[in-house]
Structure 1
Amino acid sequence: MSTHTPPRLPATTHLRELADRLWETVAAGDEYTATDLVLRALDDGIDPESVLLDVIAAVQGKVGEEWAANRISVAQEHAATSINERAVAALTLHPAARTSPYRGRITVACVDGEWHALPARLVAEVLKLRGWQVDYLGAQVPAPHLISHLHITKADAVALSSSIATRLPTAHAAITACQAVGVPVLVGGAAFGPGGRYAELLGAQAWAPDARTAADRLAQGPLPRPQVGHQQIDDLPHLADQEYTMVVRSRDSLVRTVFSALEAAFPAMRAYDDMQRERTAEDLAHIVEFLATALYLGDEELFTWFISWTAQILQARGVPAQSLPPALDLFARELKDFPRAARTLQRGMDALTTDHPTAGTPA
């Protein structure tokens, strides 16, 4: 009989296999098996932080990819996210994940209007594992409520999460409000752009691309304290032209006008059912929202990224990308007296021509 002991799989391999198994159960809508997998992994001695970030977070990333590719529906995406949230909740109750705080106190919250709460929840749980006392406030936290909480808890820092770029003006207001009461801010989430390019622009003390990096940064030492009462230099001088404000205020009328013009130009739209009309109006509203955010940040690349991404999403759903240029052209006509807006819209049309050559081809 052989006494040879087979070599153990590397930890990373085991984690990938565990993530694959969790994805299968999440995709099947089997929350009980999903939570059992997580709990058994902890029973087997796998580090809770690795289960959170290398397994659950990895599966959630795949959920987003599958939705973008139109391989799962919005309802399935919501169901999968809900199961992952339950898996996180189950993990926090396991003895292996229970820690006593010995560091400082951190408030973790999503900015107002941001309903993607799972990334913030992952940050909160990792910080707890690292010894922080964490106040997790969840999704869509209005700035006044956040500030009231800070007055009560005397937190050492705030970790703000946002996944949707159109929430960045609101994030800026929250960052400024926290700093006004002397609390430094660490931000994270896809909204802040590649490399966190918008974090510095909006005045955050620090940025982290993920929960592990956020915890590592906070472990290095306290974030620099903002100077209470110190008026920051205006880093967004382009807002003086009021284009952002005017576009935001006229969003509804812009959507109605462009929708009517598209209907006149493309008679087939008149046969749309209520759901198709609603979806078209939503798509037009998203264009205005990203245009406004690009104007706020003074960054045309944000808008061109959104337009190219939208074309990919539409094509994955069998909608030709050529439906976008007419809408952008109509918005440009309505905003012809707004130079930055018109230039940004033109950049969007140029991006479609470059990234999606058939987008300008008539149907």
Structure 2
Amino acid sequence: MSPSITQITPTQPAPFDGAALRRTADDLWEAVSCGDEHAAYGVVLDAHDAGADHEALLLDVIGAVQRRVGQEWADNRMSVAREHAATAINDRVIAALSVRHMPSPTGKRRGRVTVACVDGEWHALPARLLAEVLRLRGWHVDYLGAQVPTAHLIGHVHRTGPDHVALSSSLATRLPTAHATVTACQAIGVPVLAGGAAFGTDGRYARLLGADAWAPDARAAADLLALRPPTRPLTGHQPIEDLPHLADQEYTMVSRDSGRLVRAALAGLEERFPAMRSYTEQQRQHTAEDLGHIVDFLAVALYTDCDRLFTDFLTWTAGILTARSVPAASLPPALEVLGTQLTDFPRASRLLDHALQALNDPDVPAARSGSGVSR
């Protein structure tokens, strides 16, 4: 009699539901927040081996942890160095995870997408997540990373012929450069999908600058490209057609004279607050940098002709300063001094006045607490 054979059915891993993903995100946060790269690998790769969805790990675990990193920095619970270290770990974990899903070189693809950050934009992780999600969904992806000069991006597009360009930016001060990049891609017939915090939580700046499509996050962007891919006919479109208010030259003059405006504002603040004259060189440098950021955002608000962009930045800055035990009351005098330098600029004066009203509004939460909005 032949021996009986016992058939063993492999145990299937339990479904990785939302609660399991949240626990994984908590574990990843514990690893990256203390700089433990090896633990971070283990958390994500073990979850993948246990059956967690690859895309969910990218967006609902790594992406969620990265948003928490930004919020912790904004609330002054994480230094710049720790924030950079955490971001670098997340980036390497994405790379390790991507090895688990290498597309077949002979497999059929949906099409080709170039994913790039606007020139001057160093926050590359959102674009990296989008690139990985698109690869998972069957696209041929050229991921160009952070800070891609427009001329080099266009050269790449000419050589590779993508169906779409996905353009990412987190910093609103990069919007003028993004506008030029969008227009350059469209001029050669390639539609542009814009994404990232710079384009607004509702995509208003993407629409303003003439992008062919906008998506709030990587999952929505991938869905849009699959279901309603944007198209772009060849046209003689010019950027000034999008923003006729630029004809008044206020943006050009403020951006060109930004250095002089910062120096004049610093001198004006010293006259109002003589104690500033005893500042250390480092304190003066920090004050000048803060004024420089204000002028940069004033310039981009002039470019877009959007009061909300400048006001949101100032109220967010008030929250950031408060979280760092710097009185937010230091902001209105800075705006007032800048106003004395821009009396002949009606749009700039309007932007400064609206921002002052917002900062003086006791109901503005960011001006009263450290709960600033992460950018």
Q: Which of 31, 35, 41 is 1:35 aligned to? A: 41
Scaled by the length of structure 2, the TM-score of the pair is 0.90
- Contact residue 15 and residue 52 of structure 2 kept, 8 A: no
For 1:232-271, what aligned pairs fall within 5 Å after superposition? Answer: 234-271=241-278
- Contact residue 111 and residue 167 of structure 1 kept, 8 A: yes
Distance in 1, Cα, partners of 2:327 & 2:360 = 13
How far apart are residue 97 of structure 1 and its match?
5.5
Q: Match of 2:325, SS?
A: coil
1:302-329 residue CA offsets vs partner (Å, 9 max, x unmatched): 1111110000000000000111111100
How far apart are residue 227 of structure 1 and its match?
2.0
| Structure 2 residue runs without a partner (length 5+) | 1-13, 369-375
1:22-64 residue CA offsets vs partner (Å, 9 max, x unmatched): 0000001001110111111111121110000000000000001
Give the equivalent residue in structure 1 for 2:95: 89
Distance in 1, Cα, partners of 2:79 & 2:18 = 30
- Contact residue 179 and residue 239 of structure 2 kept, 8 A: no
Q: Which of 22, 25, 48 is 1:19 aligned to? A: 25
How far apart are residue 290 of structure 1 and its match?
0.6
Which letter maps to 1:24? E
Distance in 1, Cα, partners of 2:237 & 2:298 = 31
Give the equivalent residue in structure 1 for 2:61: 55
1:61-92 residue CA offsets vs partner (Å, 9 max, x unmatched): 00011001001111111111111111111111
Q: Match of 2:117, SS?
A: strand
Give the equivalent residue in structure 2 for 1:153: 160
Scaled by the length of structure 1, the TM-score of the pair is 0.93
Structure 1 residue ranges, 4+ long, deviating more than 6 angstroms after superposition? 356-360
Give the equivalent residue in structure 1 for 2:85: 79
Give the equivalent residue in structure 2 for 1:325: 332
Q: Match of 2:270, SS?
A: helix
Which letter maps to 2:143? Y
CA RMSD of aligned residues (A): 1.9
For 1:61-72, what aligned pairs fall within 5 Å after superposition? Answer: 61-72=67-78
How far apart are residue 224 of structure 1 and its match?
1.3
1:205-262 residue CA offsets vs partner (Å, 9 max, x unmatched): 1000000000000001432123244557812111111000000000000001111221
- Contact residue 180 and residue 228 of structure 1 kept, 8 A: yes
How far apart are residue 101 of structure 1 and its match?
5.1
Distance in 2, Cα, partners of 1:322 & 1:148 = 48
Give the equivalent residue in structure 1 for 2:188: 181
Q: Match of 1:29, SS?
A: coil
Q: Match of 2:193, SS?
A: strand
For 1:332-347, what aligned pairs fall within 5 Å after superposition? Answer: 332-347=339-354
- Contact residue 48 and residue 97 of structure 1 kept, 8 A: no
| Structure 1 residue runs without a partner (length 5+) | 1-7
Aligned pair 1:107/2:114, yes or no? Answer: yes
Aligned pair 1:121/2:128, yes or no? Answer: yes
Aligned residues, how many? 353
Q: Which of 301, 305, 308 is 1:301 aligned to? A: 308
Distance in 1, Cα, partners of 2:316 & 2:240 = 34
Distance in 2, Cα, partners of 1:314 & 1:77 = 18
C-alpha distance 262-290 of structure 1, shift in aligned 2 (>3 A): same
Identity over aligned pairs, percent? 63
Distance in 1, Cα, partners of 2:311 & 2:184 = 30
Distance in 2, Cα, partners of 1:72 & 1:15 = 24
Distance in 2, Cα, partners of 1:301 & 1:108 = 28
Which letter maps to 1:155? P
Structure of higher RCO (CA pairs closer than 8 Å, 6+ residues apart): 2
Give the equivalent residue in structure 1 for 2:230: 223
C-alpha distance 42-290 of structure 1, shift in aligned 2 (>3 A): same
For 1:184-203, what aligned pairs fall within 5 Å after superposition? Answer: 184-203=191-210
Q: Match of 1:218, SS?
A: helix
- Contact residue 167 and residue 193 of structure 2 kept, 8 A: yes
How far apart are residue 152 of structure 1 and its match?
0.2
1:94-115 residue CA offsets vs partner (Å, 9 max, x unmatched): 2x45454511110000001100
Distance in 2, Cα, partners of 1:191 & 1:102 = 30
Q: Match of 1:71, SS?
A: coil
How far apart are residue 271 of structure 1 and its match?
2.6
C-alpha distance 335-183 of structure 1, shift in aligned 2 (>3 A): same
Q: Which of 286, 289, 293 is 1:286 aligned to? A: 293
- Contact residue 92 and residue 98 of structure 1 kept, 8 A: no
How far apart are residue 264 of structure 1 and its match?
2.6
Aligned pair 1:349/2:353, yes or no? Answer: no
